Structure 1
Amino acid sequence: MPNYYLHAENAKQALEALAKGLSCVRLSTDLNISERDFSLNDQGLMLDEANQLSVDELKFIVKKTQKIFLCHDGELDPLEDRSAGYYKLVPTAGSPLLEISGVKMHISKGTDPFISASEMAQQAVRTGDRVLDCCGGLGYAAIAAHRLGAREVLSIELSPEVMALRAQNPWSNDLEKEGITQLQGSSYELIGTMLNNSFDSVIHDPPRFSLAGELYSEEFYSEIFRVLRRNGRLFHYTGNPHVIRKGSGFVDGVIRRLKSAGFKNVEKVDRLMGVSAQK
């Protein structure tokens, strides 16, 4: 059975079409990847024979502006996981973003999460590269690296909850393509099992420092340096700079530790809230 993804905006479109007495409405039910026409009648929105949404259900979805609902096999469920914290996919005008316990895990203001992840990949990845994607999230940077011509991408994600949401996200489908390998585990631990000089580029997009300080340590940066080939490139998302103590910027600390680990050409990339560097 097909999956249909509904959120406040397209539920609102369906209700507006119903109010006008229209017999069909053009919607995206795959989170802005494509559009098609769906039938309307007195009962509501007809997705297919097994999946029909009543007016009341559409009104319920409209109220939940920060949620995405999956309609499948006659059931309507939010794309979220409350088993350990609160993980959910949030709708945007483009690709959905990942939110964990109220914290958005993507650059989304004035852009699209997939576009910003693609721009991060462009900072480091070249055609033919073997790429390490640390803290892969929904896999947007790994997919972007693959599309940029990387011959192989290894994407690591610690959270099984994130990987479960990724598996339900249409924008993450390309992770199944040949040339991309997904690993569930700790980037901090797994990088120690990797060979010296085995990657051409690394994309490092860790959770915020308070949640995973070890991923901002000189020890971890030294491991990234070790697995990179000569002249290999790193892009490291750091998030909004903030001050740890008076006169010491957080990003300045990241830059200092990267240089101590051996990196050269270490530069802030303000628009992407990160740092680029080279071995």
Structure 2
Amino acid sequence: MKACKQFRATKQTSIKDADAAEKPLSSGDKLKDKELVVGMAAEIAALQEMLYAGQQHKVLVVLQGIDTSGKDGTVKGVFNLVNPQGIQIADFKAPSTIERAHDYLWRVHQQVPRQGEIVVFNRSHYEDVLITMVHDWIDEAECERRYAQIRDFERMLAETGTTIIKCLLHISKDEQRDRLQERVDDPAKHWKFDMQDLEERKSWDKYQELFGKAINATDADHAPWYVIPANSKTHRNLAIASILLETLADLKLKPPAAKPELKGLKIT
């Protein structure tokens, strides 16, 4: 079964019922799976070169997930071989004073891909319907308005040539506990730990509920959601790389046509 079909969110997706430890693409050998990811990363890099050369398509990859779900690890594992000229990573943290003075999509729209470019959102505009609802900064009516605005925003991107891939990195609560504890126990990883992560962890069930609602409210054929079981870091990368390769293959990328004026040219 193709990865896009394997992980595609369905109507009434319930994140809390999804198995974060599932590994349907695994060979059963972790080393072989890691080697496969490296090979796929090289394929993605080659396709991105054609994407950049052709200047006809734009690709947006949204990585959404709770703290420690592996957004940074996905960027390193899947996109590490891509030429930096053709990829941008946008990391959306708490909005600045200037950003808060604009509508919530203002800063997001500035980061969408240009022709020939892949852009990866490490967190995204979905924060504005997730953390805001968890902390009651907006009410249900405003949340629904934002879902409608996000649907319109993504439809506009798709209609103007952007291919959208949205991945929810799904880990279990126990796995998050272990990853947070690893950061606490290793002084070299203290820079990754934020006490606020513990506060957000208290709202685990609420986040799982809201992830499901966000997916069901905004999943579309032109902006599909994929639920990625992410307890296994290797399998997480394998799944996302597979989805990206299938999506890029559908674009039927090829090098630009040869320039007739260069035929027979001799460099002296």
Larger % of strand: which?
Answer: 1
What TM-score do you get using the length of structure 1 for normalisation? 0.30
Larger helix percent: 2
Structure number, greater radius of gyration: 1
